[in-house]
């Protein structure tokens, strides 16, 4: 992680980084949805006794592993920026920040136009509050 990523995020800095973060989140959500679908198909193929299903299970297993690697890469990209991924499914991300001298998260979810919420470290998504 770069020294720049260790600095607490400001709302302005988070919103400036959002075009890049949004692209990573979009890729992450897409890859995760595809991974889940392939895992389900792999489970079905691997329980069948036919040779064709066995070959299909091996192919699906390779694809599942490839996508898992992609997902790990996207999470690492976010981590390198100093952003925490809270949900692969929805693209929920937290930017470590400070508010009134205490650590908090700036919170953004895929589809939102800008970073406009924050929450206490332990509060999670349910504790989201709009920024002033």
CA distances from 22 to 42, 54, 67, 95 (A): 30, 38, 19, 13
Alpha helices, DSSP H, located in the chain: 3-6, 11-47, 51-81
Q: Average pLDDT of 29-55?
A: 88
Binned at pLDDT 50, 70 and 90, residue 55 comes out as: confident
pTM of the model: 0.87
What strands lie across the sheet with 92-99, from one edge to the other?
84-87, 92-99, 102-109, 117-120, 129-130
**Total domains in the fold of the chain:** 1
CA 130 to chain centre: 21
Give the per-residue pLDDT at 3.
44
Give the per-residue pLDDT at 11.
97
Binned at pLDDT 50, 70 and 90, residue 106 comes out as: very high
Domain region containing 56: 3-130
Q: Is the pLDDT of residue 6 over 70?
A: no
């Amino acid at each position: 992680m770069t020294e720049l990523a260790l600095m607490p995020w400001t709302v302005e800095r988070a919103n400036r980084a959002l075009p890049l973060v949004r692209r990573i989140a979009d890729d992450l959500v897409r890859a995760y949805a595809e991974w889940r679908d392939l895992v389900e198909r792999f489970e079905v193929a691997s329980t069948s006794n036919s040779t064709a299903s066995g070959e299909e299970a091996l192919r699906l297993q390779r694809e599942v592993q490839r996508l898992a690697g992609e997902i790990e890469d996207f999470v690492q990209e976010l981590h390198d920026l100093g952003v925490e991924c809270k949900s692969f499914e929805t693209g929920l991300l937290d930017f470590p920040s400070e508010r009134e001298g205490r650590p908090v998260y700036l919170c953004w979810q895929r589809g939102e136009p800008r970073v406009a919420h924050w929450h206490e470290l332990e509060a999670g998504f349910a504790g989201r509050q709009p920024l002033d």
